[in-house]
């Protein structure tokens, strides 16, 4: 992956959301043998709070996501087990040791079988850590774990485009990001093509939003091309009658636009800049909830930049206008 980690902690990537919302498809695409051994009818449960408790003192490294999932094996001979997943963003000499450490800590905590799986999203073709071992005084301790390398899918472009699994699209976006690293126009065309593929699948609203977030996070564009892309997406949504992204969900990009300017405004806080932020938030509120009452407009008119930023961050999750402004 390229630009995303330059300006933010790559651990806060949208990988986590799409992994959680489409976990069976994640397993089917990257780890089909393990997928076939899981009794999906029994459901699955994410245990990420527990994972943080177990590994809270470990170094994060350059990860795009990690997860701990409880599943049931087919046949039920061992009941439920845990799957620990790491999506690693770049080469890390301690990665295999970390996988080993997490595996034994989780086993010690739960006394249940732990399956450790890794997706490597780095660009080093020769880096493929798949085991960790040590031996001392005749005592041998080894962990071998399955590894998927995203760049290995580079020769499967056509099959990725035709594959209905959402992680085929995620993988294609990763590859296209690498291929267009120094060519903004090519990246624009590639990103638009992936968005068209996204809408052709007929997925539900949440899946489209999750996948769009991953694509948008990976494939950053110059501002002019970003604006052109949004116009194209509006056309696509008009054709498909699925206004999923360009309503309030456009905030995924606009929030980055706003945050970049907020950093500069902390120095000066000019009145005109605050008015721009208030106008942007007002437009988003209207698109999400409909016309605003006079009280809400007055609240926006007198708000500080900190308040506007806070309310903007809440708009995606709020179910009503009042929930955006609700005090905690």
For a pLDDT cut of 70, what percent of the chain falls above it? 83
For a pLDDT cut of 90, what percent of the chain falls above it? 30
Residue 208 confidence (pLDDT) above 90 = no
Residue 178 confidence (pLDDT) above 60 = yes
CA 324 to the chain's CA centroid: 23
Contact call for residues 191 and 12 (beta carbons, < 8 A): no
Average pLDDT over residues 101-128: 91
* The predicted structure's pLDDT at residue 11: 43
307 vs 272, residue with greater confidence: 307
pLDDT band per the 50, 70, 90 thresholds, residue 227: confident
Handedness of CA 286, 290, 294, 296 (dihedral sign): negative
* The predicted structure's pLDDT at residue 257: 45
pLDDT band per the 50, 70, 90 thresholds, residue 31: very high
Q: What is the pLDDT of residues 294-322, one digit of tens each?
A: 888 888 888 887 788 888 888 877 888 88
Q: Is 114 helix (H, G, I), strand (E, B) or coil?
A: strand
Q: What is the pLDDT of residues 62-98, one digit of tens each?
A: 567 788 999 998 876 557 889 999 999 888 888 999 8
pLDDT band per the 50, 70, 90 thresholds, residue 165: very high
What is the C-alpha separation between 94 and 261, in angstroms, rounded? 37
Average pLDDT over residues 14-38: 92
**pTM of the prediction?**
0.69
What is the C-alpha separation between 61 and 84, in angstroms, rounded? 16
* The predicted structure's pLDDT at residue 248: 38
């930023």: which residue's tokens?
309
What is the C-alpha separation between 25 and 111, in angstroms, rounded? 27
| Run of H or E residues at 84 | strand 80-88
Mean pLDDT score of the chain, rounded to an integer? 81
- CA-closest candidate to residue 196, choices 229, 165, 154, 158: 229
* The predicted structure's pLDDT at residue 176: 92
Q: Is 93 helix (H, G, I), strand (E, B) or coil?
A: coil
Residue 10 confidence (pLDDT) above 50 = no
Angle between helices 305-314 and 251-268 in degrees, nearest 10: 160
């Amino acid at each position: 992956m390229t630009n995303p980690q330059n300006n933010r902690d790559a651990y806060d990537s949208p990988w986590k959301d799409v992994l959680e919302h489409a976990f069976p498809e994640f397993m089917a695409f990257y780890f089909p043998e393990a997928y076939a051994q899981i009794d999906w009818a029994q459901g699955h449960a994410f245990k990420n709070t527990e994972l943080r408790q177990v590994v809270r003192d470990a170094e994060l490294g350059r990860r795009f996501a990690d997860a701990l999932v409880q599943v049931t094996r087919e046949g039920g001979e061992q009941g439920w087990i845990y799957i620990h997943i790491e999506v690693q963003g770049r080469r890390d000499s301690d990665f295999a040791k970390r996988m080993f450490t997490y595996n034994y800590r989780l086993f010690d905590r739960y006394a249940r079988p732990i399956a450790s799986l890794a997706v490597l999203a780095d660009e080093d073709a020769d880096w493929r850590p798949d085991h960790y071992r040590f031996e001392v005084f005749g005592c041998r301790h080894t962990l071998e774990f399955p590894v998927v390398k995203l760049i290995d899918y580079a020769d499967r472009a056509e099959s990725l485009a035709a594959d209905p699994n959402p992680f085929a699209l995620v993988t294609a976006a990763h590859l296209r990001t690498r291929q267009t690293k120094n060519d903004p126009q090519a990246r624009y065309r590639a990103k638009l093509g992936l968005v068209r593929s996204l809408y052709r699948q007929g997925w539900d609203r949440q899946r489209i939003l999750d996948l769009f977030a991953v694509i948008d996070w990976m494939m950053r564009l110059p501002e002019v091309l970003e604006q052109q892309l949004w116009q194209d997406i509006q056309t696509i949504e008009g054709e498909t009658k699925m206004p999923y992204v360009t309503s309030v969900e456009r905030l995924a990009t606009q929030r980055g636009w706003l945050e970049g300017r907020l950093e500069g405004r902390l120095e000066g806080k000019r009145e005109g800049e605050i008015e721009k932020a208030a106008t942007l938030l007002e437009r988003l509120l209207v698109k999400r909830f409909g016309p605003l009452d006079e009280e809400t407009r007055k609240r926006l008119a007198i708000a500080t930049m900190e308040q506007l930023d806070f309310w903007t961050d809440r708009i995606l999750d709020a179910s009503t206008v009042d929930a955006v402004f609700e005090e905690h």
